Amino acid sequence: NAGVTQTPKFRILKIGQSMTLQCTQDMNHNYMYWYRQDPGMGLKLIYYSVGAGITDKGEVPNGYNVSRSTTEDFPLRLELAAPSQTSVYFCASSYGGAGLAATDTQYFGPGTRLTVL
């Protein structure tokens, strides 16, 4: 199993450009998450998905969009990139998420380092 994979690893964008960060997991997990990590800070949740076709906002969703058409893939779209979106982006997945199922581990991808100039 490859686990959680993310592409690209690095990207530089100009202000106003758009891009999609790709995330794929091969563990048949229902739940997937996107976090961002700013320097010296903890991770903050951007969006999450509890299954194909179902997504919801996290703590810092502004400027981002997501979709979940399959169990495996959870792309994150940046529209009109801004310098404030310079960060490292992590995708994660877990088998369950809420209630009694909220006891399992989240598995993280290696991250995408994004710089907006």
Q: How far is CA 93 from CA 17, 18, 45, 86, in A?
A: 28, 24, 12, 23
Report if residue 89 touches other proteins, rule: CB under 8 A. Answer: no
CB of 76 to other proteins, least distance (A): 15
In this structure, which amino acid lies at residue 63?
Answer: G
| Structure tokens given for 74 | 């959870």
Of 77 and 113, the one with the shorter C-beta distance to other proteins is 113
Which member of 78, 97, 114, 116 binds other proteins (CB under 8 A)?
Answer: 97
SS3 label, residue 33: strand
- CA triplet 49, 66, 61: central angle to 5 degrees? 90
From the list 19-27, 28-36, 60-68, 69-77, the region that binds other proteins by CB under 8 A is: 28-36
Report if residue 44 touches other proteins, rule: CB under 8 A. Answer: yes
CB of 94 to other proteins, least distance (A): 6
Report if residue 1 touches other proteins, rule: CB under 8 A. Answer: no
The answer to whether 34 and 46 are in contact (CB under 8 A) is yes
